[in-house]
Amino acid sequence: MEIVNFAHGEFLMVAMYVAFFAWALAGLDPLLALPLAVAALAALGWATYHGLIRWVLGGPMLAQIFATFGLAVFLRAGAQFLWGVDFRVVQDPWLGGRVALGPVFVGLPQLAASAAALVAFLGLWRFLARTETGVALQATAQDRQAAALMGIDTDRMYALGWALGSACVGVAGALLAMYFYVFPDVGGTFALIAYVTVALGGFGNVPATLVAGVVVGLVEVFAGLLLAPAIKYAVVFLLYLAVVLARPQGLFGRW
C-alpha cells in the first residue's frame, strides 16, 4: 500500500498482551485467545486507518512516516504506563514440551506456531489471488487512482488492508505469547526483522515473503551457530544491505 506501519512491532506487543490477559484474567489458553487477539488487532488496524492513516495519505512522506512512528511511541509508552516494564509469561500453556522429528527435537509450541503461520500464509495468499476483494485490494495497492476509476472503493480497501494486516499480527502475537515473554518493548526486534524480511522478498509479494522468511531464519540460525549468537541479527541486517545494493526491489520484487 506504499505506506509502512512503523508501529507493527507495537501491534504485535498489543496482541501478546491481549493473549496474556485473556490467560491471566479469564484463564484462557493462548490458543483459545487467538480469535480474540485477531479480532482486537483487526479493530486496532481499522481504527488506525480511520483515525490516523487516512489523514496523512495525501500528505508529505515525512508525515506518513511520523504518524505511525508516533503511534509506536504512544503504544509502547502506554503499555509501560498501564502495565509496567515487568516481563510476563503465560504459565503452563496447553502446548508445551518438545517432539522428536527424527533426530531433531523441536519445541511443540514453536512447531504449532510455524504450522499456524503457514496456514495463515496460505489463507492470505489465496484470498489475495482468488477472491474478487483480494484482487481489488491488490489493484488499490498498485494504483490508487486507477483502482478508483474502475469503481473500487479505495477507502474501504485501505481500511480492509489495515484490518487484515493487523489481524495477521494478532495471529502471530497470540502464538508467540505461548513461549515468549510479554513486555512493552517486545515488538522492536520482531518488527525490524519483519520489515527486513518483506523488503528482502519484495514488497507486495506474499510467496516471496515466505521464501525470504525462510532465508532470514536460516541465516539467523547459522550465524548464531557458526559466528556468535549475539551478532545473529547484525548478520541478517548486513545480508539485507548486501541484497539491497544489488537489487533495491528485493530478491523477487518487480518494480
Partner 1 sequence: MRRALLLALLAAALAFPAAVTLPFPRHVLIMIFLYGSLAVAWNILAGYCGQISLGHAAFFGVGAYTSTLLVARAGLSPWVGMAAGAALAVLFSQAIAFPVFRLRGHYFAIATIAVGEIVQTLVINWDWAGGARGVFVPIKRPDSLWNFQFHESKALYYYVALGLLLLGLGVTRWLERSRHGYYFRAVREDQDAAASLGVNVAREKHRAIAVSAALTALGGTFYAQYIFFIDPESVLPLSLSILICLVAVLGGVGTLWGPVVGAAVLVPLSEYTRVWLGGTGKALDLVIYGALIMLISVLQPAGLVGLARHLRRGTRA
Regarding 231 and contact with partner 1 (CB under 8 A), the answer is yes
Residue 15: CA atoms inside 13 Å, Cβ hemisphere, count? Answer: 34
Smallest distance from partner 1 to CB 188, Å? 7
Cell numbers 484474567 correspond to 25
What is the number of helices (H) and of strands (E) in the chain?
11, 2
Smallest distance from partner 1 to CB 71, Å? 6
At 99, phi and psi to the nearest 5? -125, 155
Pick the closer one to partner 1 by CB: 85 or 100: 85
Q: Give the whole-angstrom CA distance, residue 97 versus residue 82.
A: 32
Regarding 251 and contact with partner 1 (CB under 8 A), the answer is no
Regarding 73 and contact with partner 1 (CB under 8 A), the answer is yes
Q: Give the whole-angstrom CA distance, residue 134 versus residue 116.
A: 21
At 100, phi and psi to the nearest 5? -100, 120
Of 205, 159, 194, residue with least CA distance to 57: 159
Regarding 237 and contact with partner 1 (CB under 8 A), the answer is yes
**36, 37, 75, 174: which one binds partner 1 (CB under 8 A):** 75
Regarding 78 and contact with partner 1 (CB under 8 A), the answer is yes
10 Å CB burial of residue 130 (0-12, 13-18, 19+) is exposed
Of residues 29-58, which lie at the interface with partner 1 (CB under 8 A)?
A: 52, 55-56
Which residues lie across from 182 on neighbouring strands?
88
**23, 162, 190, 240: which one binds partner 1 (CB under 8 A):** 240
**63, 99, 118, 119: which one binds partner 1 (CB under 8 A):** 63
Q: Measure Cα distances from 116 to 1, 29, 35, 164, 214 in Å.
A: 25, 16, 13, 16, 15
Smallest distance from partner 1 to CB 197, Å? 11
Of residues 187-206, which lie at the interface with partner 1 (CB under 8 A)?
A: 188, 192, 195-196, 199, 203
Q: One symbol per residue from 86 to 125: x for binding partner 1 (CB under 8 A), - otherwise; what is it? A: ----------------------------------------
3-state secondary structure of 104: strand
Which stretches of the chain bind partner 1, using CB under 8 A? 2-4, 52, 55-56, 59-67, 69-78, 80-81, 84-85, 188, 192, 195-196, 199, 203, 228, 230-231, 233-234, 237-238, 240-242, 244-245, 248
